[in-house]
Amino acid sequence: MTDLVTERLVLHPMTVGEAERVVAGEPDSGARWAPGYPTDGDVFATRRFLGTCASTGDPQPFGNYEIRRREDGRAIGGLGFHGPPDANGGVTIGYGVIPSAQGQGYASEALRELLLFARAHGVTCVKGDADHDNIASHHVMLASGMRPAGQDERVRYFEITWTDTTPVSTSEQAHR
């Protein structure tokens, strides 16, 4: 797997070894983690990824990605798939950035790229959710082209679907 690159970010597909270091909170000598990385959310998602790897094998390209700033190479968060596409071509995603990187559009930029990647790899539907009070995450999904798809007592659901899987530009994606 190669990195996915956006204007300001590198989305680096995590290896099992990198994931194990994130869970342990111990970067290797080459890792450049921004202060506050990994968050509890990063550790939770990485544990899920490692569980998938142990039970069914590495799901790449539908695994976890570390979000790194291009300007300094520092990891500021993570995003990824909860597993490979289901029988209908659907996936669920999650993401997060460290508090000092929030409010700068990094999560939206990363999610837009991940949606383009998913679509180009045959995914027909991407779902996500956020707690009702996590308005910033609602804005991230909306800014990335996802639309509200319901709610329950705890979370609001979002999704985006495609009838074809022809890649489109990030700007087209955001305006759909």
**In this predicted model, what pLDDT tens digit does every residue of 64-113 receive, in sequence order?**
999 999 999 999 999 999 999 999 999 999 999 999 999 999 999 999 99
Q: What's the pLDDT at 140? A: 97
Q: What's the pLDDT at 165? A: 57
Q: Taking CA 171 as the corner, what is the angle to CA 169 and CA 174, rounded to the nearest 5 degrees? A: 110
Q: Taking CA 83 as the corner, what is the angle to CA 152 and CA 62, rounded to the nearest 5 degrees? A: 125
Distance CA 130, CA 137 (A): 6
* pLDDT confidence bin for 1, thresholds 50/70/90: confident
Distance CA 140, CA 97 (A): 11
Contact 48, 82 (CB under 8 A): yes
CA dihedral over 170, 141, 58, 76, signed as positive or negative: positive
Which of these, 171, 104, 117, lies nearest to 144 by C-alpha position? 171
**In this predicted model, what pLDDT tens digit does every residue of 45-68 receive, in sequence order?**
999 999 999 999 999 999 999 999
Structure-token pair, residue 148: 């509200």
3-state secondary structure of 124: coil
Q: What's the pLDDT at 175? A: 43
Across all residues in the chain, what is the average pLDDT? Answer: 92
Distance CA 22, CA 25 (A): 5
- How many other β-carbons are positioned within 10 Å of the β-carbon of residue 134? 13
* pLDDT confidence bin for 166, thresholds 50/70/90: low
**What letter represents residue 81's amino acid?**
F
3-state secondary structure of 10: strand
Judging by DSSP bridges, how do beta strands 75-81 and 90-97 pair with one another? antiparallel
3-state secondary structure of 132: coil
